[in-house]
Structure 1
Amino acid sequence: MRILSESYNNGYGSGNGGNGNGAPGSGNNGGNGNNGNGGNGNRPPRRPSILMMILSGLMTVIAILMLYNAFFGTGNGTEVSYTDFLKDLEADKVEAVEVNKESGVITVQLKKEAAATPAPDSYVTFYGITQKATQSKTVYYTMLMEDLDTLTGRLQEHGVTGTRISSNTSSFLMEILVTVVLPVVLIWVVAGFLFRKMGGSGGPMGVGKSNAKVYVQKETGVTFKDVAGEDEAKESLVEVVDFLHNPQKYSKIGAKLPKGALLVGPPGTGKTLLAKAVAGEAHVPFFSLTGSDFIELYVGVGASRVRDLFKEATKNAPCIVFIDEIDAIGRSRDSKYGGGNEEREQTLNQLLSEMDGFDSSKGILILGATNRPEILDKALLRPGRFDRRIIVDKPDLKGRVEILKVHAKDVKMDETVDLDAIALATSGAVGSDLANMINEAAINAVKEGREFVSQKDLFAAVEQVLVGKEKKDRIMSKEERRIVSYHEVGHALISALQKNSEPVQKITIVPRTMGALGYVMQVPEEEKYLNTEAELRDMLVGLVGGRAAEEVVFDTVTTGAANDIEKATSIARNMITRYGMSKRFGLVGLATVESQYLEGRTALNCSDETAAAIDEEVVAMIKESYDQALQMLRENRELMDKLAAFLIERETITGKEFMEIFRREKGLPEPEEEKKGTDPAFQPLTFEDSLQEAKEQTAPVQDIAKEPEESAKEETSVQEKPESPQDPKDPPQGPVGLFSHGTL
């Protein structure tokens, strides 16, 4: 199936919606092992209370200040110069004096009548600390600047009888004890207390402790019965589980348990679900965490967590360790792929060391999952670490039917539901997409007040995922409606006139929430593995058909063909650089695909001069297709006008209605049997009927989640075919695309 849509970005721009899979959560809770406690046992490690930490810190500071003030408090006195002290002594203002022989500090007590009240907002300083003078000055301090006997004589001369000479030999040691030793001891005690509260080992705050979650079957609730559409991948993991249950059966002939298995595939295909199913079937401790759980702010934490993880795994052997999104720590150390991160490299080195160090006979299996295998370090992928690479690709027609049955088993459906027809209409969808469609259909049924889901709800959900819901509040002007109508009719008419195009199933100019102002829905009669050059060239003509219709009718063009042009350019460029379909360049590979399971971007591997020549060839190829589209539409202008007028009146027409007008105007007879290609007889009565007819012919639908060259490929193969034009690493190209739409 493919969607040719008219959308409104900068006129009719494009918008894409996608679905993704969340990674499983991870935690620090321990779990029960096979014959003992795994992780931290049945009691989860206690987390430190932030409030408790703050209170402990405040208590420590307060205790230090209190002790300091107790021994060195300044009371209500201030420090004055020795000269001022002598002046007060000469003026007979001094009542009593205490002299410390060790420190040389003189404490002076003035007579009450001689006490001075400080001026408002005045400040005094004692030992370098400035504070506001708020009390009467009756006591102050000074330093002894002369011989003690001389001072004693002065005091006797002026009748100061309250003189006291003290000798505190322990004051210096006490000062060191209070200001240095005591704070260190208090901090040490508080830190030790907090670390014990946080669960012990693993370093400060537990940053070096593994975050792996340990669970067994009863906690996952997932078994292999819940996994559908990935029979080959499931078979590989069933063997591993059987090895864990019956090791003697394999050891008799010398077979060894694989050390690791790497699950590789696009997002949403069920890699994490397969791992959870392994946990449910194995009945052994299952450690689950993501690659990002190893990385923290501090260098060395990742390596520490790897060591802790394998230490716990060894204690609980036999067990399974699952690392989701392993590319977060397994990225190649080559600078080309972002190498040079010291923390990540330390973590990876520790992981490599641990995978080499443990004994496979103990029954420890490492499972990894990624959708970016091309950036993983080669040392991680070699046999002896990850012995198996399990491809978890997009499901085929049979797989989609099985997945739909799994997700529909708990949904109430009426007798009209045909999951085979839904599978035909959703070629290219992954498990998460199909689950979302079933859920959307159930929601639609509830909104309409029904207790059962019907086939109508399911098809509405499919269309909702394709282009969004109908945007009822968007009102277009008459002129815009005419432009959009002719644009969509241009796409559909070109498809009907061509030999290698897919049959039209639906044409609409009803705006949708995902950006489409209109679209043409096409469903191929069979699921193909290859595209011929003629088919790709017909795709190019069909893509520019909307733009050509605008020029033929209005003698001008709009922004509505933006996405058409983008996809046509991509097809033409791939034909030249990857498929050898250019006479000028011949059988030369000029581009390579990157991120085969994600964006599928291509990178040219040629000189700048060759790249410029490729651009010229692309321009020439698209211009040739555009000229052909103009000629076809001009020759069928009257038919195009009638189709556009009918579409403006009805807003949405089916493939049957479209082909009835086409056959009548062309003078073609009603067909007697279903035929292939653009034969009018292939056109169904309705969108749903067309899918049913295609299903009865056992002709799978063309993949609609990939580019035109990719649409010719069965996407569920678990074998990598890097040289085939339908390789899953191909980027989304051309007009096909279940989950992308544009200005087509």
Structure 2
Amino acid sequence: MAENNNNNPMMNDENGKPKMPRFNVYWVYIIIILGFFLIQYFYSGKTAQLTTWQEVKNQMLEKQEISKLLVVRNAGKVEVYLKEDKLEKYKDRLGQGFGAVPKAGPHFYFTIGSIETFERQLAEAQTNIEESQKIYPEYVDRPNYWADILSWVLPFVILAAIWIYIFRRISRGGGGGPGGGNIFSVGKSKAQLFDKETRPRVDFKDVAGLEEAKIEVMEIVDFLKNPKKYTELGGKIPKGALLVGPPGTGKTLLAKAVAGEANVPFFSMSGSEFVEMFVGVGASRVRDLFRQAKEKAPCIVFIDEIDAIGRARGKNPSFSGNDERENTLNQLLTEMDGFASNQGVIILAATNRADILDRALLRAGRFDRQIHVELPDLKERLDIFKVHLRPIKLEENLDISFLAKQTPGFSGADIANVCNEAALIAARKNKKYVEKQDFLDAIDRIIGGLEKKNKIISKEERRTIAYHEAGHATVSWLLEHANPLLKVSIIPRGRSLGAAWYLPEERQITTTEQLFDEMCSTLGGRAAEEINFNKISTGALSDLERVTKQAYAMVAYFGMGKSLRNISYYDSTGQVEFTFSKPYSEKTAEQIDEEVKEIIDKAYERAKQILTENHEGHVQLAELLLEREVIFSEDLEKIFGPRKTLSREQELVKELDEEAHKQDLESKENQTE
């Protein structure tokens, strides 16, 4: 075999000598690991076992089993060495064979507080022992070499690690692009890039409602997928689209759906991420963002909460907000529609404060479209419930349309919160399925807060609260244009002692009569207290605040006053915050105050008149509320009869009920066939 190996040319070098195997760094790792295991093998015996002074005193000293006591002064412990003929007694604790405590010792150890106390206790324990047999401790100091080494080496290791970390950060941010090259890459854009591999798993099917908004956004997506269809006719893609709407209506979700549907790169960034403590960072990040977007064009850039940098610039520079924010806005305006073209880069932005944005940002050529994302109506709420109820285990035959009817004015985020809260309530009650009552409890909790049944309320206060809430319910039920009532409760929730749930009519404009009727129903609680108890309480604070603001809006904004008719002092540009005076004179202010007082007094008197004319029904309703704590619209209909008119919301409810009834009939006919 040796001769064959020597004759093998693959194993020999040019001179015919056998080749030496090449050095591999992994051999060093293997040797170190083997050495570690060998050390563990030869030195893996037990160390001294922990004991107590009581055991040493009562057993080892008393029976003269100790040969030596060694006090380690710098460690605060005493090592116990046993006599060789006494080791057999402690073999269960000291071990046997290879893994045993060495016979030479130490065999046990215990900790001490101070050496003086230990010496006194040792002397007291050996008072009855002969002098020749007494044990006198020995003292030693053992330096901790590892601690000394670490105290010298560890600071240098930490400094070296920090230096390597800083060096790597600098090297990463040292690119030659705009905004780069500075320490920590401050000027680099922090936008997240979503491409085909990292695209969010959200599409337009997951966005319930918002049909009109989806149509406009889908047109942009379709343009990116099929640009020739539009360019052949001479059309140009809009450069930007602004999603405007109240919080929680689905603006960011709609942008995620665009990222999921479009087959182009998608940059996502928040408006606050442009602002930094260093001067010039915001503008640098804007430049870097658009530089990356141009390289990936065609693409979409989404800026969430754009009002953080797009606020209107002040006319007086000394009283303007942040100069750094204005520089960032100026750079954004230039990049969106400046001298250089940004062909193929579409800007999507979202905000719920479009009224404070700068005019230059909203002009055509930058944000060509403003897509309004409003609160969902009844049918849209039904679709949103269907989306959020998919992962929830529901009871059989749960009427989802009923949940949509009970959540007027809820946004998509509120509905998602209702579904989650209902599941938590059902789990808290150890239920296997989420039931209808769980959803009702969740809605009540979100609107009014958590129930506080243990709150101490006297009988007189409880009676006042019941008549107050019954006053609201009575006036709102009997007035034609007031919002219809859903239910009334006198169970304390959050900071309120009682609450009433209404079904607001979904309308785009409001008349004077509708505003006046709503004010009358709001003042019904205070009027009920005065009529029934001949005194008033502080419980109407929120009602009075709401009515006062509504009356001022009628006179100063909507031009519904008598002497100030068709005049509005509302400023939609948002420039009022930069001025220090009112847009009207002191005399006009007095007229506004007089008209506001006249409207509120008139509404209050009408509420008192309605309650006086229907005193028996009001008292009956209040007593029923005291008995049950919660009453519904059916109870009011039994006492006062049906309402005069149906609101638009109630008409939609009726239409949905009719559609559900038709679907039930069709399913039954199909089953019989």
User: TM > 0.5 between the two?
Assistant: yes
What is the distance in 2 between the residues matched to 1:416 and 1:463? 22
Matched, 1:532 2:532: no
Matched, 1:618 2:596: yes
1:102-501 map, 5 Å: 193=167, 196-201=170-175, 202=180, 203-219=182-198, 220-335=200-315, 339=320, 341-355=322-336, 356-361=338-343, 363-501=344-482
**Larger relative helix fraction:** 2
**Structure 1 residue 591, shift from structure 2 partner:** 3.1
8 Å contact from structure 1 (residues 501, 677) kept in 2: no
Matched, 1:696 2:657: yes
SS of equivalent residue, structure 1 residue 517: coil
Map Cα deviations across residues 578-615 of structure 1 (whole Å, 9 max, x no partner): 3333322222223345779xx9xxx9642221121111
Q: Which has the higher contact order (CA 8 A, sep 6+)?
A: 1
Which amino acid is the alignment partner of residue 657 of structure 2? Answer: E
Select 1:609's aligned residue among 564, 584, 587.
587
Runs of 4 or more, structure 1, over 6 Å off, are 189-192
Select 1:582's aligned residue among 561, 571, 577.
561
SS of equivalent residue, structure 1 residue 302: helix
1:22-33 map, 5 Å: none
What is the distance in 1 between the residues matched to 2:620 and 2:364? 65
Matched, 1:677 2:645: yes
The residue number in structure 2 matching 1:116 is none
Stretches of structure 2 that go unaligned for 5 or more consecutive residues are 1-159, 661-673
Label 1:628 to 1:550 Cα distance change in 2 as closer, same or farther (>3 A).
same
What is the distance in 2 between the residues matched to 1:427 and 1:438? 15
What is the distance in 2 between the residues matched to 1:196 and 1:656? 71
Label 1:232 to 1:497 Cα distance change in 2 as closer, same or farther (>3 A).
closer
Q: What's the Cα RMSD here?
A: 3.2
More deviation in 639-648 or 557-566?
A: 639-648
Stretches of structure 1 that go unaligned for 5 or more consecutive residues are 1-185, 664-673, 685-689, 700-744
Which amino acid is the alignment partner of residue 485 of structure 1? Answer: A
8 Å contact from structure 1 (residues 241, 281) kept in 2: yes
What is the distance in 2 between the residues matched to 1:451 and 1:275? 36
8 Å contact from structure 1 (residues 216, 280) kept in 2: no
- TM-score normalised to structure 1 length: 0.60
Identity score, percent: 48
The residue number in structure 1 matching 2:35 is none
Matched, 1:591 2:570: yes
1:52-67 map, 5 Å: none
SS of equivalent residue, structure 1 residue 333: coil
Map Cα deviations across residues 658-700 of structure 1 (whole Å, 9 max, x no partner): 333446xxxxxxxxxx764399xxxx9xxxxx9966843789x
What is the distance in 1 between the residues matched to 2:300 and 2:356? 24
What is the distance in 2 between the residues matched to 1:414 and 1:344? 53
Count of residues in correspondence between the two structures: 486
SS of equivalent residue, structure 1 residue 516: coil
- TM-score normalised to structure 2 length: 0.67
The residue number in structure 1 matching 2:141 is none
Label 1:364 to 1:499 Cα distance change in 2 as closer, same or farther (>3 A).
closer
8 Å contact from structure 2 (residues 378, 404) kept in 1: yes
8 Å contact from structure 2 (residues 170, 185) kept in 1: no
Which amino acid is the alignment partner of residue 696 of structure 1? Answer: D
**Structure 1 residue 330, shift from structure 2 partner:** 2.0
More deviation in 690-699 or 651-660?
A: 690-699
Label 1:502 to 1:311 Cα distance change in 2 as closer, same or farther (>3 A).
closer
Which amino acid is the alignment partner of residue 587 of structure 1? Answer: N
Matched, 1:650 2:618: no
Which amino acid is the alignment partner of residue 277 of structure 2? Answer: L
The residue number in structure 2 matching 1:549 is 528
SS of equivalent residue, structure 1 residue 581: coil
Label 1:675 to 1:638 Cα distance change in 2 as closer, same or farther (>3 A).
closer
**Structure 1 residue 223, shift from structure 2 partner:** 1.2
What is the distance in 2 between the residues matched to 1:593 and 1:345? 21
Map Cα deviations across residues 432-490 of structure 1 (whole Å, 9 max, x no partner): 11111111111122222222222222222222221123212213111111110111111
What is the distance in 2 between the residues matched to 1:193 and 1:481? 70
Select 2:540's aligned residue among 561, 564, 568.
561
8 Å contact from structure 2 (residues 476, 484) kept in 1: yes
Which amino acid is the alignment partner of residue 287 of structure 2? Answer: R
Label 1:436 to 1:251 Cα distance change in 2 as closer, same or farther (>3 A).
same
Matched, 1:509 2:490: yes
Label 1:442 to 1:373 Cα distance change in 2 as closer, same or farther (>3 A).
same
Map Cα deviations across residues 177-214 of structure 1 (whole Å, 9 max, x no partner): xxxxxxxxx9xx99994554444232122111111111
What is the distance in 1 between the residues matched to 2:492 and 2:655? 28
8 Å contact from structure 2 (residues 562, 595) kept in 1: no
What is the distance in 2 between the residues matched to 1:223 and 1:655? 40
Label 1:691 to 1:589 Cα distance change in 2 as closer, same or farther (>3 A).
closer
What is the distance in 1 between the residues matched to 2:520 and 2:645? 16
SS of equivalent residue, structure 2 residue 499: strand
Which amino acid is the alignment partner of residue 476 of structure 1? Answer: I
